[in-house]
Structure 1
Amino acid sequence: MKQPPGFIDPLYPDHVCLLQKSIYGLKQSPRKWFETFSNYLLTYGFRHSSADSSLLIFHKNSVSLYILVYVDDILLTGNHEQTIQDLLMGLLTQFRMKNLGRISYFLGMQISSFSNGLHLCQSKYAIEILNRAGMIDCKPISSPASSKFQSTYVSELSAVQSNNFRHLVGALQYLTITRPDIAFTVNKLCQYMHRPLEDHFLMLKRLLRYVKGTISYGLPILPSSLELSAFSDSDWAGDPVDRKSTSGYCTFLGTSLISWQVKKQKTVARSSTEAEYRALATATTNIIWLRRLLEEFQLDLSQPTQLFCDNISAMAIATNPIFHARMKHIEIDFQFIRDCLKNRVLQLAHIHSQDQLADLFTKSLSIPRFVALRNKLTISKSPVSLWGGDKLAKK
């Protein structure tokens, strides 16, 4: 390192400035800060979570505290108010930080408290995206993508439009943190980042029109049973170009949606059964991780997690090794699902295709079907007024 121009004292050319605080932007700054902060917590009695290294856990007698760290944004919660206050006093003495009180805004997410739970949304961030796109006054629409997309314009976008396309799609990726209803469309748009066409730009504009009409939508966190359950689905050969399938899953803790994913499969599936089997394996990996995380929150997970699937053949292959001859070509890493069933980590359950919630993550749907599944996934408007949202919308 060397000082920037103008900082060198001609009388003392060998002297350097004394660094009083960390410099933002250096590659090692976040790592060194996290190391310093976590070392202090470790001496206090915390330990790192084995499922997520950014989560630190404190258990002593009947007291439980949890700290989640993202660079210099920190969440602290627990079941003993006095211990929390004592820890806060120590942190404020040791580090220069602010106690912002009860959570209301974190990493672009607005957390609204109401009578029996919380509501997570990103309305302020959604408005910023619409402003960037110049579509804050656009006409809303009822679904993020057309159920019957037909290619009309095949010409490439200009360099400026392409950069704008990538910028907006990248911003929408972060919006999916609280908006699983747009996850499939955003995933689809991300596949055209390298060479977007006019068709893709029209898809993006339709998605932004949907976001405009659902700005205050998000996920509620409600008190319910702490039973873990999941839904898994796939769309066989859904991509018209390379004929690859799309996997999708969602996971609930009680009635609260806590995890979901949309992912294009890496290889072409020879049958719908194979595509569904790969989707089951992907959902299983997420279930294993969530179970390990929830065990650290001292939840009872003695019962296997229910994984709902609408393909009987895929369930038969997972549970009965006699069908192995039909699946020899599938990579061995997908076969671990059988061990999970044997060890009672999960339990497969059949569900009718009409009730398959993960269907929303695998394909574009008609408006009635999309709205019905969105409601079942508990995606809804915020029940309380969002601070600043109305003012921003009027601008």
Structure 2
Amino acid sequence: MDIPPRYNATQTRIVCKLRKALYGLKQSPCTWFGRFTKAMKNDGFRQSSSNHTLFLKHHKGNVTALIIYIDNMIITGNDKYEISHIQDYLATEFDMKNLGGLKYFLGIKVARSQQSLVLCQRKYALDLLTETGILDCKPVDTLIVQNHHLFEYPDQVPTNKERYQRLVGRLIYLSHTRPDIAYAVKVVSQFMHSPSEDHINTVLRILRYLKSAPVK
């Protein structure tokens, strides 16, 4: 460890005692990402303005893309040399491990063939049912009641706001590979700021639908 800034040592042979690792501090994600961003820009990558976790590099008509989530990343593109180069470069900058071809990333399973690439979140959906305790629930065939009357009412019965937001957020992420639930998720996401018992019951109905069709 280095001596903290503006600390003047009056004695020799003193040391700093590490009380807490940076990894466990609130500012660690920002510090880590800043360090990673600097390394990527030094190698000629450009940070996307629409998604700051996406880095792109164009070279002679080829494109190399890297996206990172905390300390997990995907590298892809049509420049094999650049992909190999960035892997070697990052290995000199950080302690890294190459897990090979993409198979599973952030709850999304990836299956590939010579003709196609298939994304599936079946495990993610089943994990969601397990965590909410309704894996053994009775499934339903429809996502939402026809001609529903989901609105905000002055006399509505409130529900746990944090739980509601967490469940809807996970359903939003699931809808990336499940367009069949997109409309119902859009409806319940309109009440994130003030959910009621009717709203949470609709969310649970979506989960019961997932029980009948964990894969689409």
TM-score, normalised by the number of residues in structure 1: 0.44
CA positional deviation for 1:76: 0.7
What aligned pairs does 1:75-90 form with structure 2 within 5 A after superposition? 75-90=74-89
Letter in 2 for 1:81: K
Secondary structure of the corresponding residue to residue 23 of structure 1:
helix
Contact kept in structure 1, 2:156 and 2:196, CA below 8 Å: no
Identity of aligned residues (%): 34
What aligned pairs does 1:224-263 form with structure 2 within 5 A after superposition? none
For 1:210 and 1:75, how far apart are their aligned partners in 2?
32
Structure 1 residues 143 and 91, CA, compared in 2 at 3 Å: closer, same or farther? same
Contact kept in structure 2, 1:145 and 1:207, CA below 8 Å: yes
CA positional deviation for 1:176: 2.3
1:22 aligns with 2:22: yes
Structure 1 residues 19 and 80, CA, compared in 2 at 3 Å: closer, same or farther? farther
- Residues 69-128 of structure 1 show CA distances to partners (whole Å, capped at 9, x for unaligned) of 222221111223233223212211220121111111112222221342112222112111
Q: CA RMSD in A?
A: 2.9
- Residues 143-194 of structure 1 show CA distances to partners (whole Å, capped at 9, x for unaligned) of 211213368xx8736x6x6665454334323322322322322232234442
Q: Which runs of 4+ in 1 moved over 6 A?
A: none
In structure 2, the residue matched to 1:8 is none
Structure 1 residues 162 and 62, CA, compared in 2 at 3 Å: closer, same or farther? closer
Q: What stretches of structure 1 of length at least 5 have no aligned partner?
A: 1-13, 218-395
Higher relative contact order (CA 8 A, sep 6+): 1
CA positional deviation for 1:29: 2.0
Structure 1 residues 134 and 85, CA, compared in 2 at 3 Å: closer, same or farther? same
Contact kept in structure 1, 2:125 and 2:210, CA below 8 Å: yes
Letter in 2 for 1:189: V
What aligned pairs does 1:113-262 form with structure 2 within 5 A after superposition? 113-149=112-148, 156=157, 164-193=163-192, 194-197=194-197, 199-217=198-216
Letter in 1 for 2:54: L
Count of aligned pairs: 198
Q: What stretches of structure 2 of length at least 5 have no aligned partner?
A: 1-13
Contact kept in structure 2, 1:165 and 1:196, CA below 8 Å: no
For 1:164 and 1:64, how far apart are their aligned partners in 2?
41
Letter in 1 for 2:91: L
For 1:211 and 1:183, how far apart are their aligned partners in 2?
13
